Structure 1
Amino acid sequence: MIRVLVVEDDPMLAELNRRFVEKIDGFTVVDVANNGEIAIKKLNNNKIDLVILDVYMPKVDGMELFRRVRKQNKMVDFILVTAANDTDKIKEALKLGAVDYLVKPFEFDRLKKSLLNYKLRKNLLVKKPFVSQEEIDKLFIGVCKEKQEKEIKKGLHQLTLNRIISFLKENKEELLSSEIISEKLGMSKVTIRRYLDYLEDMGSVEKKIEYGSRGRPSYQYIYINEKK
């Protein structure tokens, strides 16, 4: 189990982040801190693997906390969460070894991807004394997309996939047939069905069956994001 400390001065956001983290299998929130001083005490008194850290906080801000922990050579990883997207902050975060940097406001899916990537990287490094170049590439490129990349190599194309996903997102309140999608995007129904089947396998769309007056079934699709 990966032990997490959430550091956030806004009580509502702190609770929201705690709930988000605990939705992901393999993670538990050990504690929550609302300022940097309290966070340092909790890091000294608890075994923590990962800190989800807000940058702007009272008393000791997030970057100062990050610097202090690095000077102590603690084996703790950090995901920074902040409204600041200026390059100086990002550069310093990278130099200090942040595993990710999320800019507010962000969706649960983005945090989920960050946590899953972190878990897969951590598990790979813990379980194996040596890793291959292919496994190292996965660590840096992003292992969460491994299945998707393999499928794309078998005949799907990222640009086409992105175009279909964008259309589904724009019409996410509607049930859409492959015929409608085909007509709107100017692609063949066969091509559309291949991509829809893939998106269904990935958990990004839900397929529903509707029966016409003659009992002949037709399939309707709706965008549902990633499974939570």
Structure 2
Amino acid sequence: MIRVLIVDDDFMVAKVHRGFVSRVPGFEVVGLAHTGAGALAEIERLAPDLVLLDIYLPDFTGLEVLRRLRDGKVGVDVLIVTAARDVETVREAMRGGVVHYLIKPFTFDSMRERLERYAIAHQGLAADGDIGQDDVDRLFVAMRPARVELPKGLNADTADLVGAALKKAADELSAAECAGLAGLSRVATRRYLEHFVAEGKAAVRLRYGSAGRPERRYRWAAR
């Protein structure tokens, strides 16, 4: 099993991420931390294989956690999970040797893919001894997320936003309601919702009113 420590200042978000990780075969969550100091203490105590690390922490940033780990030559892999999307933060994270950088909000499928690809690389480096260039090439390819082909005019980042909004909903949503949660226009959101329906990731139901066209109500189906 790949042992995972989750670091996030938001207790509810950490709980959600714990649920995501627990659903991926081969991974187990061994601990949670909500501060930078707590993260360093738990890494030393638990010696996890992988840390899901937020950038925004109440005492010091996830980047500072990463710097201290590298300065101390602590042998742990780090996957950044954060809302921070500025170029300098991403650049510093890459320089710190993170295995990936996942921007919130995201779907379970997005995290699952990163974890599964990390597991391939982790397993490939589990043995001692030498490996050849072909083996190294396969490991680096394994860490790259598969490209998701979307219809023309749609992009993966926006698809993740719409998917996350729909999945979090306790009940069905109209395109307008989903757009409000995702911070997008109703027209754009409707295109992504219909794409999810076509892919079998979402289901749609027609709700008939007293007059006019029936309202299309969507729910996430790819659990």
Same fold per TM (> 0.5)?
yes
Aligned-partner Cα distance in 1 for 2:122–2:113: 14
Q: TM-score, normalised by structure 1?
A: 0.65
Aligned-partner Cα distance in 2 for 1:54–1:81: 5
Q: State how many pairs are aligned.
A: 168
> What residue identity is the alignment partner of 2:70?
R
Are residues 38 and 168 of structure 1, via their aligned partners in 2, closer, same or farther at CA, if it must alter by over 3 Å?
A: closer
Counting aligned pairs with the same residue, the percent is: 35
Are residues 142 and 205 of structure 1, via their aligned partners in 2, closer, same or farther at CA, if it must alter by over 3 Å?
A: farther
Decide whether the 8 Å contact of 2:120 with 2:142 is kept in 1: no
Are residues 144 and 92 of structure 1, via their aligned partners in 2, closer, same or farther at CA, if it must alter by over 3 Å?
A: closer
Task: Tell me which residue corresponds to 2:119.
Answer: 119
Decide whether the 8 Å contact of 2:47 with 2:76 is kept in 1: no
Equivalent position SS for 1:173: helix
Task: Tell me which residue corresponds to 1:173.
Answer: 197
CA deviation profile, 1:125-148 (whole Å, cap 9, x unmatched): 113633333322222223687xx8
Is 1:23 matched up with 2:23? yes
Aligned-partner Cα distance in 1 for 2:34–2:143: 32
CA deviation profile, 1:134-176 (whole Å, cap 9, x unmatched): 322222223687xx8xxxxxxxxx99x6449x799734436xx
Decide whether the 8 Å contact of 1:53 with 1:78 is kept in 2: yes
CA deviation profile, 1:186-210 (whole Å, cap 9, x unmatched): xxxxxxxxxxxxxxxxxx769xxxx
More helix as a share of residues: 1
Task: Tell me which residue corresponds to 1:65.
Answer: 65
Aligned-partner Cα distance in 1 for 2:60–2:143: 34
Structure 1 regions of 5+ residues with no counterpart?
149-157, 175-203, 207-222
Aligned-partner Cα distance in 2 for 1:99–1:20: 18
Query: RMSD over aligned Cα, in angstroms?
Result: 2.8
Point out the structure with max Rg over C-alpha: 1
Task: Tell me which residue corresponds to 1:41.
Answer: 41
